[in-house]
Amino acid sequence: MSNQSSPNGAIRAVLWDFGGVFTTSPFTAFTRFEEARGLPKDFIRTVNATNADGNAWALMERNEVSREEFGDLFEAETRAAGHAVNGSEILPLLSGELQPEMVTALRIVAKSYKTACLTNNMRTGHGPSMSQDADKAARIAGVMEIFEHVVESSHAGVRKPEPRFYEIACEMLEIKPSEAVFLDDLGVNLKPARAMGMTTIKVTGPGQAIADLEAVLGISLR
């Protein structure tokens, strides 16, 4: 981070989700998978939202089960929901394509603000992005290097929306929650951050996210 003063004195740090913010949403890949397999719309998201803190997805994101155990647990959950899908088929869908305008915004923000990436991820693929493609993983690794800190659920042992996850980020950056703005594409992950005092932005697309962040910070990010 640059030593220059932050344009918005009330905010000292910008915290960012990764998947669905810097990359295209995995939900798009889920939809394609469901259509190809003849599954009900939003089947995967519905399974993941059932017993959200203790299901296979949550256990894998906290690194409490192996990749193989996740595959079997997820299959049991989807079978109970009516359509058996092994978790190993879902893991390759998690890494989306980079959105360059968001990377540009991050580079500009990093000149004036503390930054951290707060990502729920799994120990699969290459690095925090969980990419199955080494070249893509290398490009994403370059983005990860811009952040001062990266908080990964699979390493921290807690995950969004658990409050401790956000506390870890604030401790790393030596800030109060009220001094941070947090961007995520899931409202459930924004709710506890907002309750702690963070300014929150729900990301629906790069243009909207950048415009909303510009309004908060009072600087151009393009």
State the pLDDT at residue 150. 96
Tokens describing residue 89: 């088929």
The whole-model pTM stands at 0.87
Per-block average pLDDT, block size 10, for the chain (222 residues)?
59 96 93 97 97 95 94 98 97 90 98 97 68 79 96 95 98 98 97 98 97 97 94
State the pLDDT at residue 82. 98
Task: Mark whether 47 and 125 lie in a shared domain.
Answer: no
Task: Mark whether 54 and 64 lie in a shared domain.
Answer: yes
Q: Are 26 and 17 in contact (CB under 8 A)?
A: no
State the pLDDT at residue 132. 65
CA distances from 204 to 22, 23, 145, 181, 209 (A): 11, 12, 24, 16, 7
Cβ within 8 Å of residue 74, ≥6 positions away: 47, 56, 57, 85, 86, 87, 90
CATH number assigned to the domain comprising residue 44 = 1.10.150.240
State the pLDDT at residue 135. 82
State the pLDDT at residue 95. 82
The total of structural domains in the chain comes to 2
State the pLDDT at residue 9. 81
Supply the range of the domain harboring residue 54: 27-93
In a domain, 5, yes or no: no
Task: Mark whether 17 and 68 lie in a shared domain.
Answer: no
Task: Mark whether 172 and 141 lie in a shared domain.
Answer: yes
State the pLDDT at residue 4. 44
In a domain, 8, yes or no: no
